[in-house]
Every structure is written in structure tokens, then in C-alpha cells.
Amino acid sequence: MVRLEKIWEDQHNLNKIAEWRDLSIETLRTADLTKQGISQINWVSNLKESEKYYFIYYNEIFVGYCGLDKIHSSNRTAEISLLINPGYRGQQIGSTAIKELLRLGFDVFNLNLIFGEAYETTTNWEFWIKQGFKPEGILRQRKYWNGKYYDSTIFSMLKGEWKKINNDL
């Protein structure tokens, strides 16, 4: 069973996030938050109202985090993110967490558009397509990694599309 819990200053879990971010650095926009310790606590204690992050538990084991960032209440938009412990990937945990996060975004926070970005340094784009997101465009040479530039794909989902996927129209 997958469960989301609002993120809080749990040093053990935050250190794990830093460790997993470090192992997934090629997928990240920046290398921020890869250091364990106080930087993680500072990140969580300084979250704004426009940032909603959640710990992900699988059978009560902490396995990742996800969130909605840059929530813009007037435009009813937000950016989505997800990070799963590499040892737990491929078990539908991320898909289940994203399904719940989309429910929160569209039903609880009343968003109309949720978007994200995936770098061509990985195959993460395929995951987001499977969740029902649609491509919006390419940002050329968006990420510099290991001496080379990589493009990124912007993707999004509208509330109406989400309702259709969930047969909720």
C-alpha cells in the first residue's frame, strides 16, 4: 500500500532524500539539496504556501517524496515532482503516488493545469507519458551534464484530462 504524508522535519527521511537525489543527480534541475543535515531541515522549514511536498511510504517504509511546487492559485497551476528510492523503482509506487498527488492537486487545491519537466539525460519522460501527461514542448540545451547539453521536455495535464482518465466526468 502506498501512502502520502505531508513532509515535515524528519531528519532521517530528509537525509534519505538527499542520498537519493545524489544518486539521481542527472535527473535534477540543480544539485541543491543533495547534502544531508541542516540544509534539508532548512528546505522543509522554509517551504511556502505555494509548495506542497509529501513523504511516500510503501507498506509503511519510507521510499520517496513527491510534490506540487510553484502553485499559482490565480492561474490554478502547479509543477509536479517525484523522487523514489532507486531500490524501489519499477514497482508502481511512483504511479500510485502520482495518482494521489494529482487527486490532491485537482480536487483539493482546485488546480486546472499540472506541469513538469523531464531531461533527456534519462528515460523519465516515458514514466510521465504513462501517467497521462501530454508533451507541451522542448527546451533546447536546458541541462548541462557531464560535459554535454541536453534538451528537456515540458509536459502537462489538464483537470478535464485527469477526470477523463479517472472516468470522473
Residues 86-106 have a mean pLDDT of: 97
Q: Which residues contact 115 (CB under 8 A, 6 or more apart)?
A: 77, 78, 79, 80, 136, 154, 155, 156, 157
* Higher per-residue confidence, 28 vs 65: 65
Q: Say how many CA atoms lie within 13 Å of 105 toward its Cβ.
A: 36
Q: Would the pLDDT of 6 be above 90?
A: yes
Determine the pLDDT at residue 52: 97
Grid cell in block for residue 9: 522535519
Domain locations along the chain: 2-165
pLDDT in tens, 24-45: 766 655 555 556 667 788 888 9
CATH class label, 2-165: alpha beta
Which grid cell is 25? Answer: 543527480
Mean pLDDT (the chain, rounded) = 90
- Residue 32 has φ and ψ, to the nearest 5°, of -60, 155
d(CA 122, CA 160): 29
CA distance 135 to 117: 10
CA distance 162 to 12: 34
The pLDDT tens digits of the residues spanning 150-162 come to: 899 999 999 999 9
Distance CA 156, CA 136 (A): 7
